[in-house]
Homo-oligomer: A and B are copies of this chain.
Amino acid sequence: MNTPLQHYEALVEKGQDIYTLKSISTLIGWDQETYMPKNAIGIRSLQKQHLESLIHKEMTSTYLQELLSPLIRLDNGELLKVDGLDLMQQGAVKEWRKDVVKAKKLPDLFVEAFAKAASETVSVWAEAKQANDFDSFLPYLEKMVELVREKTDYLGYKDHPYDALLEEYEPGMTVEKLDKLFDSLKPFLINLTKKCKNLSIQTDFLYGDYNEHKILELDHYLLQSMGFKEGCYRLDASNHPFCVSCHPTDVRMTTVTKTRDLLAANIFTVLHEGGHGLYEQGLDPSFFGTPICEFLSMGIHESQSKIWEAFIGQSLPFWTYFYPKLQESFPQNFSNVLLTSFYQAINVVEPSFIRIYADEVTYSLHVILRYEIEKSLIDGSLQVKDIPHVWNEKMQAYLGITPKNHREGCLQDIHWAWGLFGYFPTYVLGNLYAAQLFDSLKKDHPDFKEKVSQGHLTFIRDWLNEHIHRYGRLYSPDTLIQRATGTPLSEESFKAYLTKKYIDKKD
């Protein structure tokens, strides 16, 4: 008769096999986006498929269920004999059970069909975007939406089918909760956008010829200032910046280094991916092989990137210290520009068509627009063919502008082609979480401004690690935020932050 701890340890052993396979899959994915010779895409697909199928086989194996069953009821998640297991270990068991139950929900044939359709749709989307041709994309997107609706049936939901999708990326989130948040946020942001729009601010000095080598030097300096552990991460160049992690000791970020738009394309990207990277680096490696050494949700992940990119990286205290460094690296661009002008330029509010380049105020409106469209596609109240029309209407209503074409309109994002529905809202949730965390961080560090103005940032990493990173998937996002900030998720902190920064002009 084994003790609960022995059962747990057997589970960890198998779990390490599975997470090791996942980490390999992550690594070869990173290679594909950075160094892979382009004609190797065929063998790379075989490699990816084979690893994913091995992982799926492990996750749905009866062996894994047998390992779990002495510790937790598979049907309802009730913990059984767990004496001797601490809270983290119990949390690991609960999350494992969720993953196992989830892995069995989608039939293999459906997963294959979905992956195949997504891959086709992405390539059609790329051409359609290029050609500004929504009609050629339409039948493929209709098929994807059909598949996503089918997926919600497999996954199951209580109230709204879209809840099943939200649960994938933000456990516990529902349409009901989101509608409440966005109903308050949307009019506030529309109103704020109108008030802040100021086209007279000069921004042209941000663009220039920047030496790639110098850019990378500055990037590494920033990452070191943020408190990255040496020998545990990389930063490489890629067309589309991203951050992946094989393990807390192997975090890999990329950024754009060939650019005329240093701040938007590179610096803020490095701070953004750096925020993601610190989260991954801050997970507890002693729990590798369990869900505890895994990030909690896309919204929480995004909060970590946003707090660094915007709340800190676009603040005056931050640039009080770092602007002289930037001037030193690129004197031809910045030596004649005052810090105040620079700070104004990087915080210009201006409605624009492309979400990924949007400012702090308008960004969430882009996302709310997509959320509203997604929700109605999934509940059937909107037809795919009506997307362009609805998109343009909403753009006009929320941002006061109308796209000239579909390329800068409803064809701009890759998410829908991939079948990623339910993902967009996490971009706003990231802002809301970040604003709450930012408040608590400053409360715990009354000398926050002084420290940051002197270039000290590692206390921020430490605070985020203590309150967020190290817990991995132990708590739900709701509970984690409640514990870290003392209040449940709400849009109020974010509204207050934006008002203070953009109306009261205080930092």
0/1 interface trace, chain A 230-252, chain B, CB 8 Å (1 if under): 11111010000000001101110
Query: Known pairs A39-B230, A40-B249, A47-B246. 9 more at Cβ < 8 A?
Result: A24-B50, A24-B51, A36-B250, A37-B232, A37-B249, A37-B250, A39-B250, A40-B250, A44-B250
Q: Chain B residue with minimal CB distance to A44?
A: B250
Q: Measured between alpha carbons, how far is A37 from B54 in the docked complex, in Å?
A: 26
Report B-chain residues with C-beta under 8 Å of the C-beta of A39: 229-232, 249-250
Least Cβ–Cβ distance between A280 and chain B, in angstroms: 12
Q: Measured between alpha carbons, how far is A280 from B369 in the docked complex, in Å?
A: 51
Number of identical monomers bound together in the oligomeric complex: 2
Q: Measured between alpha carbons, how far is A275 from B110 in the docked complex, in Å?
A: 46
| Residues 3-30 of A contacting B (Cβ, < 8 Å) | 16-17, 20-21, 23-24, 27-28
Report B-chain residues with C-beta under 8 Å of the C-beta of A38: 231
Report B-chain residues with C-beta under 8 Å of the C-beta of A40: 232, 246-247, 249-250
- Is the pair A47, B35 in contact by a Cβ cutoff of 8 Å? no
Least Cβ–Cβ distance between A15 and chain B, in angstroms: 12
Report B-chain residues with C-beta under 8 Å of the C-beta of A23: 43, 47
Report B-chain residues with C-beta under 8 Å of the C-beta of A236: 35
Report B-chain residues with C-beta under 8 Å of the C-beta of A232: 37, 39-40
- Given A24-B47, A31-B31, A50-B17: A42 and B249 interface contact (C-beta under 8 Å): yes
Can you list 27 residue pairs at the A/B interface with Cβ under 8 Å? A17-B50, A20-B46, A20-B50, A23-B43, A24-B24, A24-B47, A24-B51, A27-B28, A27-B47, A28-B28, A35-B236, A37-B231, A37-B232, A37-B233, A37-B249, A37-B251, A39-B230, A39-B231, A39-B232, A39-B249, A40-B249, A40-B250, A43-B246, A43-B288, A44-B250, A47-B246, A54-B54
Report B-chain residues with C-beta under 8 Å of the C-beta of A50: 17, 20-21, 24
- Given A36-B250, A249-B37: A20 and B42 interface contact (C-beta under 8 Å): no
- Is the pair A35, B37 in contact by a Cβ cutoff of 8 Å? no
The tally of residues in A whose CB lies under 8 Å from a CB in B reads: 36
Least Cβ–Cβ distance between A234 and chain B, in angstroms: 6
| Residues 231-284 of A contacting B (Cβ, < 8 Å) | 231-234, 236, 246-247, 249-251
Q: Measured between alpha carbons, how far is A230 from B38 in the docked complex, in Å?
A: 9
- Is the pair A249, B43 in contact by a Cβ cutoff of 8 Å? yes
The 9 closest A-B pairs by CB, nearest first: A40-B250, A43-B247, A39-B231, A38-B231, A39-B249, A40-B249, A39-B232, A20-B50, A20-B46
Least Cβ–Cβ distance between A432 and chain B, in angstroms: 33
Q: Measured between alpha carbons, how far is A250 from B38 in the docked complex, in Å?
A: 9
Least Cβ–Cβ distance between A53 and chain B, in angstroms: 9
Q: Measured between alpha carbons, how far is A39 from B54 in the docked complex, in Å?
A: 27
Least Cβ–Cβ distance between A186 and chain B, in angstroms: 42
Report B-chain residues with C-beta under 8 Å of the C-beta of A35: 35, 234, 236
Q: Chain B residue with minimal CB distance to A18?
A: B50
Q: Chain B residue with minimal CB distance to A230?
A: B39
Q: Chain B residue with minimal CB distance to A21?
A: B50
Report B-chain residues with C-beta under 8 Å of the C-beta of A37: 231-234, 249-251
Partner of A250, one of B43, B54, B229, B249: B43
Q: Measured between alpha carbons, how far is A43 from B231 in the docked complex, in Å?
A: 13
Least Cβ–Cβ distance between A57 and chain B, in angstroms: 11
- Is the pair B46, A16 in contact by a Cβ cutoff of 8 Å? yes
Report B-chain residues with C-beta under 8 Å of the C-beta of A21: 50
Partner of A27, one of B31, B42, B229: B31
0/1 interface trace, chain A 153-196, chain B, CB 8 Å (1 if under): 00000000000000000000000000000000000000000000
Most central of A17, A40, A229, A288 by chain B CB within 10 Å: A40
Report B-chain residues with C-beta under 8 Å of the C-beta of A251: 37
Q: Measured between alpha carbons, how far is A233 from B251 in the docked complex, in Å?
A: 25
Least Cβ–Cβ distance between A434 and chain B, in angstroms: 27
Report B-chain residues with C-beta under 8 Å of the C-beta of A229: 39
Q: Measured between alpha carbons, how far is A62 from B232 in the docked complex, in Å?
A: 41
Q: Measured between alpha carbons, how far is A132 from B20 in the docked complex, in Å?
A: 38
Q: Measured between alpha carbons, how far is A193 from B110 in the docked complex, in Å?
A: 70
Most central of A16, A44, A51 by chain B CB within 10 Å: A44
Least Cβ–Cβ distance between A427 and chain B, in angstroms: 28
